[in-house]
Structure 1
Amino acid sequence: MKLELGNFYVKDIVFGEETSYKDGLLTVNKEEALKVVFEDEHITEADLVIVKPGDEVRIMPVKEAIEPRHRVGGGPVFPGVTGDLMQAGNGRTHCLKDCSVLVVGKHWGGFQDGLIDMSGEGAKYTLFSQFINICLVADTDEEFEKREQQKKNHALRWAGMRLSEYLGSCVADMEPETLDTYELAPVTKRSEEVNKLPSVVLVLQPQSQMEELGYNDLNYGWDCNRMVPTFMHPNEVLDGAMISGSFMPCSSKWSTYDFQNYQMIRRLYAEHGKTLNFLGVIMSNLNVALEQKQRAALFVAQMAKSLGADSAIVAEEGYGNPDADFIACVVALEDAGVKTVGLTNECTGRDGMSQPLVTLDVKADAIVSCGNVSELIKLPPMKTVVGELEALARDGLSGGWSTDEVLGSSVKEDGSIVMENNAMFCGDRVTGWSTKTMSEY
């Protein structure tokens, strides 16, 4: 499979008469763009707001991030989700870089939503403060879940994907400024030189623990709760086959943008044929029952061994209950003779003194930490709030609270906040973006 990602580097975004791209300037016809959003009758109100790095802006509650793209030659950017099923990972897709579509609740947040600060202390915690973002701020008539802590956010998430496709279409017939090419020979057809290198498989554990459909990550539109570990070409992940769900504390989440730009995949590609032989991706899942966790771990280990993997990297989306899947997978791989490195965040409490993962094993002796979800963060007020700041305290976000004996409410009268890292949108960057470091004292 050969995938070409054509890149157009967005330096500024403005509203104007025609949606177009020229010399780094993305112009958006707001009226046309909102028509795309309102194609879903469940969207009751919506607006678009442009925010830029350095703006004194706080965004809350953020539900999703998506890179605007266009599939050259036809077909949906997200096969099986925004259009008919087709093979992802082949051909050319055009990408608007250094920007994203952020899906933001106009009113209602939930357990899985988060916060982005575009400047100040809070900006360092999330990748998306570095981008020019088009915020889709919207509400729906999905009354049944407005006051539910867990929300599917279906209408809002799908509107974000349609908007991203609409924006991406403006570069459909243009020549990209740079072109990234991703191609791997079939595992059994690689050169002698490549086969002599240490072989690595990447095991991804996207969030799939909700047994009711509609909350979990999607694989070609298929709810990951219904799948078993599956061997995938890494190009498929980079090219729209995977969609973020609406579950899991926000700092642990992998947004759709993260899947589209999965940094660990890109790094393994960069090393392929030089220092290692990148076999591909085993897309696993996260389960609820112990037997399900053990079964998935056995599937993964057998698949890795059958592929001839010398080593593996395992990355989990989430923490707590998913830690059992994560550690079980690492142990099963080690038992199969596959040297394994884990990639995860931790839940070590506000003081950093608690056990980092729910379950541990002596065989899991090489784990890269991406941060502590419980770290306490205090941020001053911002001049402007996009969305509704009260959601952080009111709506059961995993890192916010309405009252605390010592700290009071997460949202203070002056607009300053105190919260756990849990509520920072994709803040732990487990997909490979993380700039955090660990020091031993």
Structure 2
Amino acid sequence: MKLEIGNFYVKDIVFGDKTFYENGILTINKEEALAFVKEDEHIIEADIKIVKPGENVRLVPVKEAIEPRVKLNGDPLFPGVTGDVVKAGNGRTHALKGCSVLVVGKHWGGFQDGLIDMSGEGAKYTYFSQLKNIVLVADTDEDFEKREQQKKNRALRWAGMRLAEYIGNAVKELEPEEIETYELEPITKRAKEVNDLPSVVFVMQCQSQMEEMGYNDLVYGWDMNHFVPTFMHPNEVLDGAFISGSFMPSSSKWSTYDFQNFPVIKRLYKEHGKTINFLGIIASNLNVALDQKERSALFVSQIAKSLGADAAIVAEEGYGNPDADFIACIVALENEGIKTVGLTNECTGRDGQSQPLVTLDEKADAIVSCGNVSELIELSPMETVIGELKSLARDGLSGGWAHDEVLGPSVREDGSIIMENNSMFCGDQVVGWSPKTMKEF
């Protein structure tokens, strides 16, 4: 399987009378783009704004992020979601780099939504403050969930994906500035010098806790609550086979943009044939019942052992209940003699004194921490708020609150806020963006 991603590096984004890309400038016909979005009858209000790094802008409630792309063969950008189920990971895809489509609720937020600051103290907590963002600010007629703390956000998420594909079409016929090529030989057909290197597999534990459909990550449009651990080609991940769900507290989530650009996968590709033999991906799940967790751990370890893995990296999307899956998977791999490193955030409480993961084991002795979800963060007011700031406190965002006996309200009268890291949009960046490290004492 050979995937070529043709990159176009966006220097600026402006509105104009047509949508096109030229000399690093992405021009968007706002009216045409909005008309395309509003083809979905569930979108009742919508606007598009452009925000850039360094601007005095706060976005909340942020629901999704997608990189604008287009597939040259006409296949849907997200197979099984925005079009038919077809194979991802092969052929040519064009991508607009340095930018994203952000989806922001005009009013209603929920447990899984987050916040992005484009400047100031808050900007360092999320990768998306570094990007030029095309912001779809919208509301829907999904009245049944507006006052629910847990939302599927279906119409808004799908609108963002469709908008990303519409914008991506601007570079479909152009020659890219750079082409990244991702190709792995079949495991049994690799050269001896590659097979002699340490063999590494990446275990990707996607969020799938909700037994009701519509909240979990999707793979080729399939709800991952129904999924079992499966060996997959890394190109499928980078080319739209996975989309983000709408369940986890925001700092722990992997956005669709994260799946499209997964830094851990790209680094493993970079080392393939040099320091390691990159076997591929074991896509796994994070279900609720204990027997499901144990079964998945056994599946993962059996697949890894059968592939001949010497080492594994396990990345967990989420925390709390999924910690049991995470540790069980590491232990099962170690029991097979496979040296394993884990990537996760922690929930150590606001004072940092609590147990970092729900469950631990002596065999989980190599874990990379990407931050504490409960860390308190104070942020100054911003000149511009896109969305609705009071949603952080009113609507049950996982890191905000209406009132605390000690700390007071999460959103203060002057527009400043205090909140937990939980509410930073994809802030813990377990996929590999994270600049965080441990402090030594």
TM interval, short-chain normalised = over 0.9
Counterpart secondary structure, 1:292 = helix
Equivalent residue number for residue 88 of structure 1: 88
Post-superposition CA distance 1:403-441 (Å, at most 9, x none): 000111100000000000000000000000110111220
Partner of 2:328: 328
Q: Offset at 1:26?
A: 0.3
Aligned partner of residue 385 in structure 1, secondary structure: strand
**One-letter amino acid matched to 1:261:** N
Amino acid at match of 1:168: G
Number of the residue aligned with 2:433 = 433
CA distance in structure 2 between the partners assigned to 1:86 and 1:23 by the alignment? 33
In the alignment, what sits opposite 1:69? 69
Q: What is aligned with 2:24?
A: 24
Match for residue 57 of structure 1? 57
**Paired residue for 1:239?**
239
- In structure 1, the residue matched to 2:104 is 104
- 1:346-372 superposed Cα distances (whole Å, 9 cap, x missing partner): 000111111000000000000000000
Equivalents in 1 of 2:380, 2:439: separation in Å? 27
**Residue 319 of structure 1: aligned partner:** 319
The amino acid of 1:393's aligned partner reads: A
Distance 1:181 1:281 in 2: 17
Q: Which amino acid aligns with 2:362?
A: V
1:373-427 residue CA offsets vs partner (Å, 9 max, x unmatched): 0000000000000000000000000000000001111000000000000000000
How far off is 1:36 after superposition?
1.4
Partner residue of 2:210? Answer: 210
**SS in structure 1 opposite 2:204?**
strand
1:195 counterpart letter in structure 2: N
Partner of 1:403: 403
One-letter amino acid of the counterpart of residue 320, structure 2: G
Deviation at 1:35, TM superposition (A): 1.1
| Secondary structure of the structure 1 residue equivalent to 2:137 | strand
Mapping of residues 266-345 of structure 1, within 5 Å: 266-345=266-345
Match for 1:250: what amino acid? S
Does the alignment pair 1:227 with 2:212? Answer: no
- The gaps in structure 1 that reach 5 residues or longer are none
Q: 3-state DSSP class of the match of 1:353?
A: coil
Distance 1:36 1:305 in 2: 48
Quick check: 1:78 aligned with 2:78?
yes
* Amino acid of the structure 2 residue aligned with 1:180: E
| Number of equivalences | 441
| Per-residue Cα deviation, 1:300-334 (whole angstroms, up to 9, x for no partner) | 00000000000000000000000000000000000
Instruction: Say which SS state the counterpart of residue 4 (structure 2) adopts.
Output: strand
RMSD: 0.4
TM-score (norm 2): 1.00
SS at match of 2:329: helix
What one-letter code is carried by the residue in structure 2 that aligns with 1:15?
Answer: F
Structure 1 match to 2:388: 388
Secondary structure of the structure 1 residue equivalent to 2:299 = helix
Which residue identity lines up with residue 346 of structure 2 in the other structure?
Answer: E
Q: Tell me, which stretches of 5 or more residues in structure 2 are unaligned? A: none
Name the residue aligned to 1:179: 179
* 1:422 and 2:422 aligned: yes
Equivalent-residue separation in structure 2 for 1:73 and 1:259 (angstroms): 21
- The separation in 1 between residues aligned to 2:84 and 2:119, in whole angstroms, is 40
Q: Distance in 2 between matches of 1:163 and 1:27?
A: 14
Q: Deviation above 6 Å: which 4+ runs of structure 1?
A: none
Letter in 1 for 2:58: R
Q: CA separation in 2, counterparts of 1:229 and 1:367?
A: 21
Counterpart amino acid of residue 322 in structure 1: P
Letter of the structure 2 residue corresponding to residue 411 of structure 1: V
- TM (norm. structure 1) is 1.00
C-alpha displacement of 1:291: 0.4
Q: Per-residue deviation at 1:92?
A: 0.4
Q: CA deviation at 1:39?
A: 1.3
Percent of aligned positions that are identical? 78
- In structure 2, the residue matched to 1:144 is 144
Match for 2:381: what amino acid? Answer: P
